[in-house]
Every structure is written in structure tokens, then in C-alpha cells.
Amino acid sequence: MSPFLFWIFALLTVIFGAAVVINRNPVASALSLVVSFLGLAALFMSLNAYFIGIIQVLVYAGAVMVLFLFIIMLLDLRAERGRQINWLASAGGLAVTLILLCQIFSVVGHFEIARKAFPPLPGSTTDDVRNIGAALFKNYNLPFQVVAVLVLVATIGVVLLSKREPR
């Protein structure tokens, strides 16, 4: 992938990710999150991970975001009114975030291997669904079944949680 396209999609992801946090209106935040996830899916495809990119669009930009928008509209959340901001707590949160960012940058900056370009990819990755499926069912069969049980438990839990208690 050309560096130009990489930086376009990276900026798209980061700017709309920041818009999620900055927007006061929850609907605007949710729509910014969709654009951020689409940029991220493009970054996955630039890394030859086509299956993960498509799953990202289907699951995140599709299902999860519909769930978020549905809940926002069900609860009828409006933009936050200008309640007084606890400046001390906000400054503390920002300081911790900046320290984390400096830490990440220093670790990545001192990571010698990370300065090399990606090695060439001789094999074709257009059928990576087959390769991921083989890895999933050969090497990761037990975790796969555990995740299936987890999803079942989540389904039952959600039904129980959203049931109205008899009074």
C-alpha cells in the first residue's frame, strides 16, 4: 500500500476517533465511531488481512453500531447540557493520558525492529478465510468452543437483564 493511502486512512481513523470523545451529542459520537472503524478496516486490508477487514465492517460498523444507535435512540439521550466541569479531575485524566502517550511513543521509538519495512509476501493471501479457518479448527479448537459457550452465556444474560421484574 502506498504511504499516501496509509496516512489518509490513519488520519481518518485517528481524527474521527478523537471526534468520538470530543462530541457532546451521543448520536454524532456513534456516527464518528462508524467512520473510525471503516478507516481501521482499510488499514487491516492494507496489511493483507482481508478477512479481518471485512469482519470489522460487518460486525463493528454494522452490528455493534446499530446496537449503539438503537440504545441511544431508545433512551432518548440528548447532548449533555453544560454542567459544571470538575477541572481538577479533567486535568488529572488528561495528564495520565499524555503520560501513557509519551510512554507508548518512547517504547515504539526505541523498538529497533519496528524501523524496518514490512517483508515481502510471496504467498497469496486472497484466500485467507481458508487459512484462518484451518488455524481456527486445528490449533484453536478448544478456545473456539469456549467462545461459543461465552456467546451463549451472554445471550442468556442479556435476556435475563432486560426482562422486567414482576412487581
Partner 1 sequence: MVTLGDYLMVSGVLFAIGFAGVMLRRNVIIILMSLELMLNAANLSLVAFSRFRVGLNGLPNYNAQVFVFFIITVAAAEVAVGLAILVALYRARQTTDIKDISSLKF
Cβ(141)–Cβ(65) below 8 Å:
no
Out of 82, 87, 88, 122, which residue is the one contacting partner 1 (CB under 8 A)? 122
Binding mask 67-106 for partner 1 (x = CB under 8 A): xx--xx-xx-x--x--x------x-xxx-xx--xx--xx-
Among 88, 162, 166, 167, binds partner 1 (CB under 8 A): 162
Interaction residues for partner 1, span 27-66 (CB under 8 A): 29-30, 33, 36-37, 40, 43-44, 47-49, 51-52, 55-56, 59-60, 63-64
CA dist list (Å): 122 to 4, 48, 119, 125, 145: 23, 12, 9, 9, 33
Is there binding between residue 167 and partner 1 (CB under 8 A)? no
The residue count for binding partner 1 (CB under 8 A) is 82
The answer to whether residue 117 forms part of the interface with partner 1 (CB under 8 A) is yes
Residue 166 interacts with partner 1 (CB under 8 A)?
Answer: no
- CA distances (Å), 81 to each of 24, 31, 76, 84, 134, in order? 9, 20, 14, 9, 52
User: Smallest distance, Å, CB 138 to partner 1?
Assistant: 10
Q: Tell me the closest approach of the beta carbon of residue 11 to partner 1, in angstroms.
A: 9
- Residue 38: closest CA among 51, 20, 57: 57
Among residues 52, 50, 45, the alpha carbon closest in space to that of 126 is found at 50
Residue 55 dihedral angles phi and psi, to the nearest 5°: -60, -40
